[in-house]
Amino acid sequence: SLLFFSSMQNISKTVSICRNVSTRSVSLAAKHTLPDLSYDYGELAPYIGARIMELHHSKHHQTYVNNYNAALDQIAEAQEKGDTETVAKIEGSAVRFNGGGHHNHTLFWKVLAPKKSGGGEIPESSKLVSDISSEWGSVKKFQETFNARAAGVQGSGWCWLIHNGETNKLEILTTPNQDQPKLYVKDCTPVLGIDVWEHAYYLDYENRRPDYLKNIWEVVNWKQMEEFHSSAVKE
Amino acid sequence: MDCLYPFMSEKSFEQHFHHIYLEGYKKLNGLVQATPYADFGEIHRVVHLSSSHLGDIEIFNAAADIRNHQVFFDTLVPWDFVDPDKALGRMTRRELFVQFGGLEAFKIEFLKHAKKFKGSGWLWLINRNSHLEIMSVYNNATPEVLEERIVPIFCLDMWEHSYVEDYGADVEAYVDAFWHSLNW
């Protein structure tokens, strides 16, 4: 049987199924879709090349979306049967991984921007910059600390700048695989997330992760970071 | 050196074998200088001893990474150089049948593990208590230190550096190609 998805743009409900589908009724709930980038694949070069961007967005992120949706379908099926054990198992594994992958990458595309759109431009005065300076002494010291933590991630994972809602302070956090920061800091808002999986940099940098980290700051979207930060800060 | 083509392109081999695997030896040599490990002739001995000393975790990570790569590269041959139909003996075939339902069923099961793999690591075929088993290990873990009775047989490097250049995100194509370059 063939499961047919209509346009992948910003619609939340999928189209239904063709005739030969088997037993289960398929009221597919709102599905996750691959978000569009607000820039072309080549526009972050030479810091992140077009080949990486295309692979990363159209293949890696798309796979997380597909697997996330499949996991949610499996959960819906299990819920119908009252099989709470299977629900918990899928949530703890496939949803944690693929849902995390989808949400993490969705944020990642937003915190990057081409130079012509302000990528790499640190605002002269901003709440975020002043909070970063209070915490780490200067933006430069913060970047060095962030990069050291990111370089130290074993295997696959992410390095984050988060706003901790409980302490009302900024923190650097690393997470393994596709774990989202909220798994570790319950009340937090990610301000910046940098992907340190090999697929994020290997084609341009081989295993020289520190070089990738040095260069990615040239296309970090400080305006977006500011928005995330100001939505979280408690006065 | 393109003899692993098309499983691994010349570019990927150059990066993987020379820049990652062989560089790993240099890194380990640096770490074990002036330690008892420096006199150990073989990598797997460094792996075993450092695995039980928490303070030697950096040495363990470097050594285990080399060990995994060592087994991986040592069991690769040029494309279709070894025919599993001729190479696999009766006992192995029987064991594959009992554990998985045969060689083809084993490959399907192995692929399932590869597609479910969540992160960086290594996908192994091991022998545990006389039974064949597929085992996923993450980051720099290596099966032979996990339990006394594990005998490692072969592994597939699931770190993305092994396949992203030639296969992008297509793990299935990578695994399919692997069977053609495995020294059965």
CB contact under 8 A, A155 and B138: yes
* Residue of chain B minimizing CA distance to A100: B118
End-to-end Cα separation, chain A, in angstroms: 56
How far from each other are the two terminal CA atoms of chain B, in whole angstroms?
22
Query: What percent of chain B clears pLDDT 70, i.e. is strictly above it?
Result: 99
Q: How high is the mean pLDDT in each 10-residue block of chain A (235 residues)?
A: 37 36 46 97 98 98 97 95 95 96 98 97 93 97 98 97 96 98 97 98 97 98 97 85
Asked if pLDDT for residue B83 goes beyond 80, the answer is: yes
Q: What is the pLDDT of residue A125?
A: 85
Record the pTM.
0.90
Residues of chain B with C-beta less than 8 angstroms from the C-beta of A93: 118
Q: What is the reported pLDDT for B68? A: 97
Kind and range of the H or E element at B69? helix B57-74
Write down the pLDDT at residue B149: 85
Query: What pLDDT, on a 0 to 100 scale, did the predictor assign at position B146?
Result: 86
pLDDT digits (tens, 9 = 90+) for B23-72: 999 999 999 998 999 988 899 999 999 999 989 999 999 999 999 999 99
ipTM of the complex: 0.93
CA triplet A215, A219, A222: central angle to 5 degrees? 125
Evaluated on CA atoms B165, B166, B172, B178, the torsion sign reads: negative
Q: Give the Å distances, CA to CA, from A173 to A97, A112, A178, B83, B183.
A: 18, 19, 13, 49, 43
Query: Do B60 and B68 touch, CB atoms closer than 8 A?
Result: no
Q: Which residues pair with B137 in a beta bridge?
A: B122
Distance from CA of A204 to the nearest CA of B (A): 10
Residue A91, SS3? helix
Predicted local distance difference test score (pLDDT) of residue B88: 94
pLDDT recorded at residue A28: 53
Give the Cα separation of B141 and A117 in Å (integer): 43
Lay out the sheet containing A157-164: strands in order across: A169-176, A157-164, A188-195
Q: What is the pLDDT of residue B94?
A: 94
**Which of B160, B162, B171 to mutate: most A Cβ within 10 Å?**
B160
Q: Tokens for B59?
A: 């040495």
Asked whether the beta carbons of residue B19 and residue A206 sit closer than 8 angstroms, the reply is yes
User: Would you state the structure tokens that stand for residue A45, as one six-digit string?
Assistant: 């070069």
Report the candidate in A102, A109, A171, A110 with the shortest Cα–Cα distance to residue A136: A171
- Distance between CA atoms of A96 and A109, rounded to whole angstroms? 20
**What mean pLDDT, rounded, does chain B reach?**
94
Backbone angles phi, psi at B7, to 5 degrees: -60, -45
Q: Which residue of B has its CA nearest to A56?
A: B169
pLDDT in the model for residue A24: 42
Task: Say yes or no for a CB contact (<8 Å) between A55 and B121.
Answer: no
- For residue A199, which residues of chain B lie inside 8 Å, CB to CB? 160, 164, 169
Would you mind telling me the total number of residues written for chain B in this entry? 184
How many CA atoms lie less than 13 Å away from A57 in the CB half-sphere? 22
Mutating which of A58, A96, A197 best tests the B interface, going by the most B Cβ atoms within 10 A? Answer: A197
The phi, psi pair for A209, rounded to 5°, reads: -60, -40
pLDDT band at B2 (very low <50, low <70, confident <90, very high): low
